[in-house]
Amino acid sequence: MAQLVGEEKAKLAQRVDFRTGNEMAARAAKQINFHLMGYYPITPSTEVAEFLDEMRAEGDHEIRMVPADGEHSAAGICYGAASGGGRVFNCTASQGFLYSLEQLPVQSSTRFPMLLQLVNRTVSGPLDIRCDHSDLYYALTIGWIILLAREPQA
C-alpha cells in the first residue's frame, strides 16, 4: 500500500479558514459563475448578496445582481431568467422563504438550472430569530434537491 510523504501529504492537509457560512456561499456562487442572482435582503441571508456585490465591484465575477421588491419577486426573477436559459442563484431565509413558497414546486418540476440557498432561521421571527430548521421543513416535499453541510466549515 502506498503512503503519502512530503509534498503529497502537505497538499492534502486540511486548512483552517475563518469565514462565515454566508461568505463561503458567496464564494461558491462566484466559482460557479451564475448568470443572475435575484434577491431580496432578509436576515441572516442578506450577507450572501452583500459579499457578491462587493466581489462584483472588485471585478471578481460577472453575476448580474437583480434586487427584487420581495421574496416572491426574487423567485420570479430567477424563474424567468432560468426559463430563458440562464443559471440562477437565490438566497433567502425563514419568512422570506415562506413568501416565495408558492412558486417553488413549479420551479422544481421544470428542472431548470436554479440554486436556492436557504440560510436557516426560525420561522415566526418575532418569537425567535436563531437558527433552526423550521424553514427547511417546508422544502422537504416540494421537489428541490436538498444538500446540507454538517457545519459552515465542512
Q: Which of 137, 122, 131 is nearest to 152 (CA)?
A: 131
Question: Mind listing the pLDDT tens digit for each residue in 54-111?
Answer: 999 999 999 999 999 999 999 999 999 999 999 999 999 999 999 999 999 999 999 9
Q: What is the mean pLDDT of residues 113-137?
A: 86
Question: What's the pLDDT at 38?
Answer: 95
What fold is seen in the domain 18-137? Rossmann fold (3.40.50)
Task: Indicate whether 4 pLDDT > 70.
Answer: no
Q: Which single residue is written with the C-alpha cell 416572491?
A: 72
Query: Which residues sit opposite 118 in a β-bridge?
Result: 92
Question: Mind listing the pLDDT tens digit for each residue in 20-59?
Answer: 889 989 999 999 989 999 999 998 999 999 999 999 999 9
Rounded to an integer, what distance in angstroms lies between the CA atom of residue 147 and that of residue 108? Answer: 15
Q: Can you give the residue ranges of every domain in the chain?
A: 18-137
